[in-house]
């Protein structure tokens, strides 16, 4: 077995690999860029080597520096994690040349699966069912239109080198091919330096189901069941689970057998994933094979009891797989939610900055948190803004989901925006609960994006009760401070008025508190047992005997509460304060409808209109490139372009005015 392993990655996956190495008694080496000097993975590893400046292209992607770091530290093997160099055949070759073991497949297998056209051809040959389509390189829009017509609409335009949902677009008619083809191609060019495009049939209402496999160097290849990853946004996974609520034993076996056949055809070793899309009739089609560990591998670990990183390391060291296909079972159910630094209410704009508070839920038999950050750490602009993967396990799907909701409630992150509320909201949707998933789930359930309305609790009274108890406690503390002016000491009333606003509309609730426990909100009486004391950000309680955790933040109007995917701002007044508050003038929100604002920080690639031009609703106004995606900004209604504030080539801040309408 290896004595020392270098992890050529950062963030949560580097930390996760280090944990397994530790358990196996293997020393670890981290590598880091300028931006990551104080990162968690650097702290966790036994040694760390600085490999360059913050840009990945100058650090995590520089093969020579990583090989040098191995030599310098005596690391005998490299785990690449996912992303960065994990699917780079040149990296594999460079390591082989330096006699360092790459913990992953061999270069030819990476190469064969590295691009979608080649891998689809190989899959076809190995008897794997693939999406009907055209397997050649398409040279221009005219050819794309011709082929799309032959395949039949809708079609998927895809970059052969694509990954992470980039360079991929659905086209439902010729006009969409016209618009999408060049966009996808230029995205592919800028992201992957490879603009080869192909077209396949778009499978309607598809589910994304993938098979995890592992192979050793002794000819053993087994599959470790499936993961369903249908909850996606812009073709990027958000929530994953294992097993899939859709597969029956027969389909699982058929998919597993095809995945193994493909791996054998590619002479595959190590862990890999064969991705399929599955139509509503359980027909499945090969999409691609990922020749590395996947982000969502923990759900497989939770239902099989295996440690995939350990298996990868053992196989790389030449060991035989310790189990056979018949030993692989399914125990219970697991879910994973990807916790991102992003703002769901602003079209999931990535958020960067310092994490000022970080309290992940406690880990136990039901909860696993793979974090890549710590309190005081930074989410930088340079890398993927993932904060952590939150995974839960339960006896069945319902139990796993209940653990997930409770864990999300107990997850407290401040300093950057995050998607905890959005994740909880998804879990609460009826279709999710029923397991009726498709990759269109998010687009269908949130047709206008995620808004304040999605954060609204059906019954606000429990949150009102908690806010009042919190306020009551602060009031009692203020009243107990010594040295108050005699005769003017503060008194704590037994009756309060709670004012709820925002998405709820204006509501006043009369509230009374008895013995710090019994709270009457309107006509409803609740018993709230909690050990909360002022200053704590999590209010853990039993409300009428049911456990609940509520986030408490002080905000401008009083308190901001969050629980079960719902958020509420509440002001608590004495009856007299409430009377006076009613007389206060309300500030109307500013009218921004006359401006085209940049929805994200990015580059203004092109302006499609001129000053004085009339535009129709839906017409393209500008293209903003951000995170290597080209976003077309369209007119929301008919109008006339007035002053143009920014020229093509300008870099834009979020909410920066691009142009005005007259
Ligand atoms: P990437 O490598 O960019 O992740 P994939 O080929 O794995 O691209 O596809 C990502 C997602 O896009 C899939 O999970 C699925 O939701 C969707 N998708 C891809 N191809 C098709 C298709 N032919 N029909 C329907 N959906 C598709």
The reply to whether CATH 2.40.40.20 applies to domain 4-103 is no
- List Cα–Cα distances, 45 to 10, 19, 78, 401, in angstroms: 11, 9, 14, 33
The C-alpha R_g of the chain, in whole angstroms, comes to 27
Q: Which of 235, 275, 628 to mutate to test the pocket of ligand 1 (most atoms within 8 A of CB)?
A: 235
**Residues whose CB falls within 8 Å of the CB of residue 604, separated by 6 or more in sequence, listed in order:** 598, 622, 623, 624, 646, 647, 648, 649, 650, 651, 652, 658
Q: Ligand 1: distance of its center to the CA of 115 in Å?
A: 14
Residue listed under structure tokens 């409803």 = 524
Ligand 1 center–CA 235 separation, angstroms: 6
Q: Which residues contact 233 (CB under 8 A, 6 or more apart)?
A: 348, 442
Q: pLDDT at position 508, please?
A: 95
Active site residue 336: no
Query: Which residues of the chain are under the pLDDT cut of 70?
Result: 627-628
Index of the ligand 1 atom closest to the CA of residue 203: 24
Whose alpha carbon is nearest atom 6 of ligand 1?
Answer: 287
| Helices and strands, number each (H, E), in the chain | 17, 39
pLDDT recorded at residue 629: 73
Atom of ligand 1 nearest to the CA of 285: 23
**Distance between Cα 113 and ligand 1 center (Å):** 15
| Topology alike, domains 106-131+207-331 and 461-480+491-581 | no
54: exposed, middle or buried (Cβ count in 10 Å: 0-12, 13-18, 19+): middle
Check residue 514 and give its pLDDT. 94
Superfamily of domain 332-444: ATP-grasp fold, B domain (3.30.470.20)
Neighbours of 381 (CB within 10 A): 14
Does residue 659 contact residue 646 with C-beta atoms inside 8 Å? yes
Going from the Cα of 202 to the center of ligand 1, the distance in angstroms, rounded, reads 9
The domain ranges of the chain are: 4-103, 106-131+207-331, 133-201, 332-444, 461-480+491-581, 595-661
Residue 642 is predicted with a pLDDT of 94
User: CATH topology for 461-480+491-581?
Assistant: Glycoprotein, Type 4 Pilin (3.30.700)
Ligand 1: which residues within 6 Å by Cβ?
131, 156, 162-165, 168, 200-203, 206, 208, 232, 235, 275, 277, 287-288, 439
Ligand 1 pocket: which of 287, 296, 437 to mutate (most atoms <8 Å of CB)? 287
The predicted pLDDT at position 327 comes to 97
595-661 carries CATH number 2.40.50.100: yes
Closest C-alpha among 104, 90, 99 to residue 61: 90
Q: Provide DSSP, 440-495.
A: THHHHH-BTBS-GGGG--S-THHHHHHHHHHHHHHHHHHHH-SSPPTT------SE
Q: Residue 168 CA: which ligand 1 atom is closest? A: 3
Contact present, 560 and 568 (Cβ < 8 Å): yes
| DSSP-derived 3-state class of residue 144 | helix
What pLDDT is stored for residue 591 in this prediction? 84
Strands in 291-332 per DSSP E: none
The C-alpha atoms of residue 475 and residue 472 are separated, in whole angstroms, by 5
CB proximity list for 589: less than 8 A, separation 6 or greater:
none
The CATH homologous superfamily of the domain defined by 133-201:
ATP-grasp fold, A domain (3.30.1490.20)
Q: Quick one: which of 270, 267, 325 has its CA closest to 297? A: 270
Closest ligand 1 atom to residue 164 Cα is 3
Q: pLDDT at position 602, please? A: 84
Distance 67 CA to ligand 1 centre (A): 34
Q: What is the pLDDT, as a whole number, of residue 627?
A: 67
Mention the CATH class of domain 106-131+207-331. alpha beta
Provide the pairing of β-strand 77-79 with 101-102. Answer: parallel
SS3 assignment, position 62: coil
Task: Name which of 333, 342, 459, 347 is nearest 402 in CA terms.
Answer: 333
Strands (E), 490-537: 495-500, 507-514, 518-521, 524-530
Residue by residue, DSSP assigns 391-448 as EEEESSHHHHHHHHHHHHHT-EEESS---HHHHHHHHHSHHHHTT---TTHHHHH-BT
For 535, counting Cβ atoms within 10 Å of its Cβ (0-12 exposed, 13-18 middle, 19+ buried), the class is exposed
CA distances for 361 relative to 10, 306, 358, 596, angstroms: 22, 23, 10, 40
Catalytic residue among 288, 296, 342, 625: 288
Alpha carbon distance 379, 10 (integer Å):
12
User: CA dist 396 to 390, 399, 410, 423, 434, Å?
Assistant: 17, 5, 21, 19, 13
First CA to last CA across the chain, in angstroms? 71
In this structure, which residue's CA is closest to atom 12 in ligand 1?
Answer: 235
pTM, rounded to two decimals: 0.90
Alpha-helix runs per DSSP H in 103-173? 107-114, 116-125, 141-151
Extract the tokens encoding 36.
């990551």
Torsion of CA 452, 369, 70, 272, to 10 degrees: -90
CA distances from 201 to 147, 149, 206, 333 (A): 10, 10, 12, 32
């Amino acid at each position: 077995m290896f004595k020392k392993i270098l992890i050529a990655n950062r963030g949560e996956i580097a930390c996760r690999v280090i944990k397994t190495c530790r358990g196996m008694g293997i020393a670890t080496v981290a590598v880091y860029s300028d931006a990551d000097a104080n990162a968690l993975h650097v702290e966790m590893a036994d040694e760390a080597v600085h490999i360059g400046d913050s840009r990945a292209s100058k650090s995590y992607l520089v093969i020579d520096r990583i090989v040098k770091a191995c030599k310098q530290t005596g690391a005998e093997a490299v785990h690449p994690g996912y992303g960065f160099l994990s699917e780079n055949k040149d990296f594999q070759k460079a390591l082989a040349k330096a006699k360092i073991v790459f913990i992953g497949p061999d270069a030819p297998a990476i190469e064969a699966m590295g691009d979608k056209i080649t891998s689809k051809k190989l899959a076809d040959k190995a008897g794997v069912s693939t999406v009907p389509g055209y397997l050649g390189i398409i040279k221009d829009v005219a050819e794309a239109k011709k082929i799309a017509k032959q395949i039949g609409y809708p079609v998927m335009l895809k970059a052969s080198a694509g990954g992470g949902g980039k360079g991929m677009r659905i086209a439902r008619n010729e006009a969409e091919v016209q618009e999408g083809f060049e966009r996808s191609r230029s995205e592919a060019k800028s992201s992957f330096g490879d603009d080869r495009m192909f077209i396949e049939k778009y499978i309607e209402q598809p589910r994304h189901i993938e098979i995890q496999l592992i192979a050793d160097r002794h000819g053993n290849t087994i599959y470790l069941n499936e993961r369903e990853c249908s909850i996606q946004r812009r073709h990027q996974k958000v929530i994953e689970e294992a097993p899939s609520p859709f597969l029956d034993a027969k389909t699982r076996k058929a998919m597993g057998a095809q995945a193994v056949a493909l791996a054998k055809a590619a002479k595959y070793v190590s862990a890999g994933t064969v991705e399929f899309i599955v139509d509503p009739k359980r027909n499945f089609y090969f999409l691609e094979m990922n020749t590395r560990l996947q982000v969502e591998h923990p759900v497989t670990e939770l239902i099989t009891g295996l440690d995939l990183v350990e298996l990868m390391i053992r196989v790389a060291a030449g060991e035989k797989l310790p189990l056979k296909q018949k030993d692989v079972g399914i125990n219970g159910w697991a879910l994973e939610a990807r916790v991102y630094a992003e703002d769901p209410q602003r079209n999931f704009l990535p958020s960067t900055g310092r994490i000022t508070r970080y309290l992940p839920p406690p880990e136990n038999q039901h909860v696993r948190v793979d974090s890549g950050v710590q309190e005081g750490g930074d989410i930088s602009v340079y890398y993927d803004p993932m904060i952590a993967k939150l995974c839960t396990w339960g006896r069945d799907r319902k139990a796993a989901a209940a653990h997930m909701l409770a864990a999300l409630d107990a997850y407290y992150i401040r300093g950057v925006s995050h998607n905890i509320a959005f994740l909880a909201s998804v879990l609460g949707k009826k279709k999710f609960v029923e397991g009726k998933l498709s990759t269109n789930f998010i687009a269908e359930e949130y047709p206008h994006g995620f808004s304040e309305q999605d954060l609204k609790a059906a019954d606000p009274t429990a949150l009102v009760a908690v806010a009042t108890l919190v306020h009551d406690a602060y009031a009692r503390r203020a009243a107990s401070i010594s040295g108050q002016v005699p005769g003017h000491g503060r008194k704590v009333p037994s009756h309060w008025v709670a004012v709820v606003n925002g998405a709820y509309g204006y509501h006043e609730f009369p509230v009374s508190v008895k013995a710090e426990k019994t709270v009457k909100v309107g006509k409803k009486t609740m018993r709230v047992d909690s050990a909360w004391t002022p200053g704590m950000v999590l209010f853990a309680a039993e409300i009428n005997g049911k456990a609940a955790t509520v986030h408490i933040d002080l905000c401008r109007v009083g308190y901001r509460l969050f629980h079960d995917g719902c958020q509420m701002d509440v002001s608590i007044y004495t009856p007299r304060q409430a009377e006076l508050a009613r007389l206060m003038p309300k500030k109307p929100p500013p009218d921004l409808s006359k401006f085209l604002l940049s929805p994200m920080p990015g580059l203004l690639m092109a302006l499609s209109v001129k000053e004085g031009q009339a535009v129709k609703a839906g017409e393209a106004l500008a293209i903003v490139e951000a995170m290597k995606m080209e976003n077309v900004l369209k007119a929301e209604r008919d109008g006339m372009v007035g002053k143009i504030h920014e020229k093509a080539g300008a870099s834009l801040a979020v909410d920066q005015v691009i142009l005005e309408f007259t």
